[in-house]
């Protein structure tokens, strides 16, 4: 059963008109834990979304087996999605991005593809001047 | 820079560790936290504060 309905697909396709360069969606799953159903759901959602653009490729990795790749992305939980553009911009999703987060996934894919965040020049300059690491966590729920 | 969106219901241990009561909850560098969306200038200020303030 598809996760996205026809209206979702049409809306996402329209937004993906803004895509420019290819992006990669690296999905981390597990097969031997309580999260296996969520991982399956996450993989299905990512594949359905990626199918709506020719600019996105999907790679599914296993957290336990592909340890080195997980460490290089700083991923230690599943399900996880890394949204990667020309380079790794540090965009991660933990948990199936349904509800509100779904819009964020689509926006992330577009911004990774264009490399252009919708920020003011002042904000961009301030961020570019940062010399220390910044880790932002945003907690939300599906409803 | 790392930006991670976390489904609070799927990761109850993380939600507990970060005392997530209302969403959205934003935590920056485990130092600065706030609930609800902030306008861009205030969000930037929170990021700069969490990163250790302006300048070296």
Provide mean pLDDT across the span A9-24: 96
Q: Widest CA span of chain A, in angstroms?
A: 47
CB contact under 8 A, B48 and A126: yes
Q: Do A134 and B50 touch (CB under 8 A)?
A: yes
What predicted TM-score, i.e. pTM, was given to this entire model? 0.94
* Rounded-to-integer distance, Cα A99 and Cα B6, Å: 12
A105-115 residue pLDDT tens = 999 999 999 99
**A140 vs B8, B41, B56: nearest CB:** B8
Q: Which two tokens stand for residue A120?
A: 């003011």
User: Which domains can be identified in chain A, with CATH numbers?
Assistant: 6-128 (3.40.30.10)
* E-state strands within chain A: 23-29, 56-62, 80-84, 91-94, 135-140
Asked if residue A94 has pLDDT above 80, the reply is yes
Model pLDDT for residues A121-137, shown as the tens digit of each residue: 999 999 999 999 999 99
Which residues are CB-contacts of A91 (< 8 A; sequence separation ≥ 6)? A82, A83, A84, A108, A112, B3
> Average of pLDDT values for A23-29?
98
B1-56: what fold? Glutaredoxin (3.40.30)
In this predicted structure, the answer to whether residue B38 has a pLDDT above a threshold of 90 is yes
CB A134 to CB B6 under 8 A?
A: no
Instruction: Tell me what ipTM this predicted complex has.
Output: 0.92
Of the partner residues A90, A120, A140, the one whose CB lies closest to the CB of residue B7:
A140
Model confidence at B54: pLDDT above 60? no
């Amino acid at each position: 059963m598809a996760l996205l309905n026809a209206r979702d697909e049409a809306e996402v396709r329209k937004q993906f008109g803004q895509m420019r360069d290819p992006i990669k969606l690296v999905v981390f799953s597990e097969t031997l834990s309580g999260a296996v159903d969520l991982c399956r759901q996450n993989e299905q959602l990512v594949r359905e979304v990626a199918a709506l653009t020719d600019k996105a490729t999907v790679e599914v990795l296993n957290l336990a087996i592909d340890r080195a790749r997980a460490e290089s992305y700083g991923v230690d939980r599943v399900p996880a999605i890394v949204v990667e553009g020309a380079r790794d911009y540090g965009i991660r999703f933990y948990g199936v991005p349904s509800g509100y987060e779904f819009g964020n996934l689509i926006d992330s894919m577009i911004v990774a593809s264009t490399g252009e965040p919708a920020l003011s020049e002042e904000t961009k300059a301030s961020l570019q001047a940062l010399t220390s690491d910044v880790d932002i966590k945003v907690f939300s729920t599906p409803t | 820079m790392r930006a991670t969106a976390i489904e609070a219901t799927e990761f109850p241990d993380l939600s507990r560790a970060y005392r997530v009561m209302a969403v959205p909850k934003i935590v920056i560098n485990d130092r600065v936290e706030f609930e609800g969306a902030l306008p861009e200038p205030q969000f930037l200020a929170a990021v700069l504060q969490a990163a250790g303030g302006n300048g070296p």
